[in-house]
A = this chain, B = another copy of it.
Amino acid sequence: MRYKLTLEYDGTELLGWQRQNDGPSVQEYLETALLCLSGKDRIYTDERGVKHNPYAVFGKEAVTDVFCAGRTDAGVHALGQVAHFDLETVWEGWKLREALNYHLREAEAPVSVISAEPVADNFHARFSACGRHYLYKILNRRAYPVLQKNRVWWVPVPLNVEKMKQGASYLLGHHDFSAFRAAACQAKSPLKTLDRLDILTNGDEIDFIVEARSFLHHQVRNMVGTLKMVGDGHLQPEDVKTILNSRDRTKAGATAPACGLYLTKVIY
């Protein structure tokens, strides 16, 4: 039986989505919680405080892997990440959500299951997705953030939002986004279609609403990093067009910090 999860997480203390040997990840917390469903008494805690259940993988709840819509980097948050996995047992969606949240809370995981539901066997969190929505938050004021610590990119110099909006307009549509692509990016092609890049203000906060079918690695953070340089006057709005056309990563701005980025929704 295949299940789909919608997840919220605070990426601050996580090494990202993918399981790593040197620290906690969303995948590890989820797979451990799934193991806990079958044999709580056999769990042990390793030196990092992560719980393991060495027997459960051979038991009824054998879980091979949890797949997600988009593998977020260390420090990146999610309000609506989607994941799928297979279980031999049949669960009602709400019961699975409650059971997983029970074990995630026990482990003090910064991960929460918003919803769980059985899906068709051909559903794939990554390959069935036809849209991904991100939010990037800048806090633009002199005083450093305390209530939004690790939730925003703090930019203490004044940003010109109108110029940033002008710069953003050049990025909309179908382009070769090589200039905004991380060196480690595994995508086959740098061609992507950016459907939405709106910049909204709410008091001292500047929100970037970004939507596309899919993104290159670091694409959102590299676009925001470049638009911030337009906002603070280091670049002119038209420079964004020149940078995009150059297809040269060294021309664009620095990657914006992970802590301002949220995966908000995945469309199927």
Contact = CB atoms under 8 A, between A and B. Distances in A.
A8 B143 contact: yes
A200 to B, nearest CB: 15
A79 interface: yes
A146 interface: yes
A111 to B, nearest CB: 6
Contacts of A149: 10, 110
A106 B109 CA distance: 29
B146 A9 contact: yes
Contacts of A142: 94, 97-98, 101
A222 interface: no
Contacts of A8: 143, 145-147
Copy number in the complex reads: 2
Contacts of A97: 142-143
A48 to B, nearest CB: 19
A114 interface: yes
Interface string A139-178: 0011111110101000000000000000000000000000
A221 interface: no
B101 A147 contact: no
Contacts of A234: none
**A interface bracket (residues with beta carbon within 8 Å of B):** 20 to 34
A221 B61 CA distance: 44
A72 interface: no
Interface string A1-15: 000000011100000
B10 A144 contact: no
A111 B143 CA distance: 10
A174 to B, nearest CB: 32
A7 to B, nearest CB: 9
A151 B147 contact: yes
B143 A113 contact: yes
12 contacts: A8-B145, A8-B146, A10-B147, A77-B147, A101-B143, A109-B146, A111-B146, A112-B143, A112-B144, A112-B146, A113-B143, A114-B141
